[in-house]
Amino acid sequence: MNIMVVDDEQDIQVLFKQKFRKEIRQKQITFTFVFSAEEALNCLQNTPNDLILILADINMPGMNGLELLKIIKEKYAHLTVFMVTAYCDDKNYNTAIQYGADDYLSKPIEFETLKQKMLEVLKVN
């Protein structure tokens, strides 16, 4: 399963690699880390078709995650997108659902729950 993580916080890369060490080692999961919505869109144009899931932070400089979500769902409707935020509020949640988010997760991420949700995505694809 190829997963793209979009977050302006670069330390998220270390955290994900630590939390998914076993799955990465067993080649069950491959992560691509990008640090802006713009970089994510560029990467999507050049990514192999095995990308299944995008985890996108909402609050990022430049284009935010909700704007990214809207573009992804218009151009790449087959992709599953989980929105991730440290700022849970009804406005962002409602906008994310309206734009087609497949899930909405709060930071700090509960990684066992995330793993379960990722396995569900893998079963569907």
Residue 3, pLDDT score: 95
Fill in the DSSP letter of residue 30. Answer: E
Nearest one of 78, 89, 88 to 109, comparing CA atoms: 88
Whether the predicted pLDDT of 47 surpasses 70 = no
Cα 44 to Cα 51, 90, 92, 103, 111: the distances in Å are 9, 29, 24, 20, 25
Whether the predicted pLDDT of 48 surpasses 70 = no
What's this model's pTM, rounded to 2 decimal places?
Answer: 0.94
Query: 3-state DSSP call for residue 86?
Result: coil
Q: Which residues of 57-71 are buried (b: 16+ CB within 10 A; e: fewer)?
A: bbbbeebbbbebbbe
Could you tell me the pLDDT band of residue 40, with boundaries at 50, 70 and 90? very high
**Structural domains present in the chain:** 2-107 (3.40.50.2300)
Cα(25)–Cα(2) distance, integer angstroms: 14
